[in-house]
Structure 1
């Protein structure tokens, strides 16, 4: 047991060095200015830099829309699989895992081809305005649709694991026996027991949207990740400072998620 604890500590220490040393080097790069010493001007300039607020707000809006849409699509689907079609779980799992197999560059090439094909063939139909609307730079719906597809593997795994920890059939049958409809049974009996899984799925989707670059860049939009790269070509220290700040915010969200999940499990065990 003592030897196991030593090896465990060694592995954890190496993992900590692997993550913390590059982070520390990035922080030093942002605050150590040659000829001026230590300064935090790079962090103070973040808020005032052109495009920071708009790009971050756009990414947060895209993340909120993506989380809402992907949960709206997947939660009823996975619950229905558990209740009425358990043999189709393997098929749905394979379908939801396909975005991990298709490279993002191929995925965005297909989207761009469809967007170019639409106006050429549908210019005289009402659908032409739809192709224009989904590419609105103020809120590109096409990015939301792309992110929903990319988030499917993570959301499905999180929800499937959450459903595996509860007896969905018993909960739904109990709610139905009390006079609740299918929608009420889902909202009042199933979803409260999936709070941790929903939080996991939402956090993974948020992290994906905030960090996604390829699809947004190739389609010509400028959310937060694309803005960071653009700024990096002009102001290296500012770009690294934004990256460090976004990483710290992501860690804070992860800690908040872990705390919320722990409180959920405690409340469930007390109940």
Structure 2
């Protein structure tokens, strides 16, 4: 009986830990799936059959004036898209969550429409509207059409990209709002005398910062990589310039793609660290 008790109680004190081999294999396969194309592209940019290992592709790309011009245009378009999208979506989502919860499904469906409509169909409709410019030459709208199609900063791209970014912004903000007790926060701020603007800017937005950052990064990455709409509308942001250069210099085009990938990752890390740093500072001050 004593031996039976020993054998019965021994497993209780020493638990056998199972190694998560399945999770490790899944993570390894995911890492290979994502990193292998990046590594192959990186090797293609630095490998020259004649000269061996060289950075000539990056030197040529950085020395091209079109790189700075197109990349600057893409960054400005991305920032304008993020600003306009957040300006539209944050107040809308807050009002729907507080006052009109029955419209949540309607807003969700409307924001998901850009995922259903192909970009080529969307830009075809936009091109049709822009073709009315000559018919409106004698009206004040003619100047508006010219302003929308300004080559240095095409505002029409900002409008189209804002529509295309709605799914990313909605999902990020919706997840952030669901994790908050929004009514309690707003009622507490209002009871202390805060105005609606102060409540939104100083109470709601700080608590939504991670959601805002994730939506902004996804929208910015979408703008940097979008090609179809920009090409059809005759603009030349970074993606269009990269494809154009690839017709003559394949290595330079891939090197530019690597640079854009680094820029996107850098912006992601920067915005994430800013959001996380402010959140940590706020917790320290409250503690």
> TM-score, normalization: structure 2?
0.89
Q: Distance in 1 between matches of 2:54 and 2:246?
A: 19
1:58 pairs with 69, 73, 87, which one?
Answer: 73
Q: Distance in 2 between matches of 1:181 and 1:256?
A: 31
The alpha-carbon deviation at position 264 of structure 1 amounts to: 4.9
Match of 2:167 in 1: 153
1:104 pairs with 109, 119, 124, which one?
Answer: 119
Q: Distance in 1 between matches of 2:37 and 2:203?
A: 45
Deviations 1:100-125 (A, max 9, x none): 000001000000000002432x2211
Two-structure CA RMSD over aligned residues (Å): 1.5
The alpha-carbon deviation at position 22 of structure 1 amounts to: 1.4
Contact 1:99/1:153 (CA < 8 Å) preserved in 2? yes
Give 3-state SS (helix, strand or coil) of 2:151's partner: coil
Match of 1:132 in 2: 146
Are positions 1:200 and 2:214 aligned together? yes
Deviations 1:11-64 (A, max 9, x none): 111111112221111111111111111111111222211311110111111111
The alpha-carbon deviation at position 132 of structure 1 amounts to: 0.9
Q: Which runs of 5+ in 2 are unaligned?
A: 1-16
Deviations 1:177-212 (A, max 9, x none): 111211111111111111111111111111011011
Contact 1:60/1:210 (CA < 8 Å) preserved in 2? yes
Deviations 1:120-147 (A, max 9, x none): 2x22110111011100000000000000
How many residues in Structure 1 have an aligned counterpart in Structure 2?
269
Q: Distance in 2 between matches of 1:2 and 1:142?
A: 56
Q: Which moves more between the two structures, 144-153 or 251-260?
A: 251-260
Q: Which runs of 5+ in 1 are unaligned?
A: none
Match of 1:86 in 2: 101
Larger radius of gyration: 2
> TM-score, normalization: structure 1?
0.95
Match of 2:25 in 1: 10
The alpha-carbon deviation at position 259 of structure 1 amounts to: 3.3
The alpha-carbon deviation at position 267 of structure 1 amounts to: 4.6
Are positions 1:33 and 2:48 aligned together? yes
Match of 2:241 in 1: 227
Q: Which moves more between the two structures, 82-91 or 246-255?
A: 246-255
Q: Distance in 2 between matches of 1:185 and 1:256?
A: 26
Match of 1:249 in 2: 263
Q: Distance in 1 between matches of 2:102 and 2:283?
A: 31
